[in-house]
Amino acid sequence: MAAPPRARDPQSVLFACGQNSVRSPMAAGLLQAMFPNTLYVRSAGVKKAELDPFAVAVMSELGQDISTHKPTTFEELDDWEGLNFDLIITLSPEAHHKALDLTRTLAADVEYWPTHDPTGTDGNREQKLEAYREVCDTLMSRIRRRFAKTAAASE
């Protein structure tokens, strides 16, 4: 069964996870870098936390600066600019449940991309960074696959 046209070619994408401190800001940064003038991209979390310095370090390795990202909840984003997104990509179970709940009143498509939370990784600094790199690589791969048609259309 084919996806609705809106889901295939979104113009606005919201990435969501538990705290908007690691996975969703990384994913938003990656997608925004791929389509700087084509897609409207934001991120949000169910709860609010501080931006994770390991996420900042891993994105910096890719030449992206997310150090000024301010973790935002769904409610804060709704208050500031509304939740007018064509597509919400959830990266954690709690964010997925929240997004599905929102679709009772919002006309947004929701995709669930279960993504490991690297914050609980034990070990030294390099081992922790490697766990964050794996999450970043996984997100990059999913983004490339999901938005391949958008990339081809914008060329």
Does residue 7 sit within a domain? no
Does residue 26 sit within a domain? yes
What CATH number is associated with residue 98?
Answer: 3.40.50.2300
CA angle 53–17–52, rounded 5-degree value: 5
Domain count along the chain? 1
Task: Please tell me the predicted confidence (pLDDT) of residue 100.
Answer: 95
Distances (CA, A) of 55 to 12, 96, 124, 150: 23, 21, 15, 26
Does residue 115 sit within a domain? yes
- The domain containing residue 105 runs over which residues? 19-154
Does residue 130 sit within a domain? yes
Does residue 8 sit within a domain? no
Predicted confidence (pLDDT) per residue in 69-120, tens digit: 999 999 999 998 888 899 999 999 999 999 999 988 888 999 999 999 999 9
What residue type is 103 in one-letter code?
A: T
- The span from the CA of 28 to the CA of 146, in Å, is 14
Does residue 138 sit within a domain? yes
Does residue 36 sit within a domain? yes
Band (19; pLDDT cuts 50, 70, 90): very high
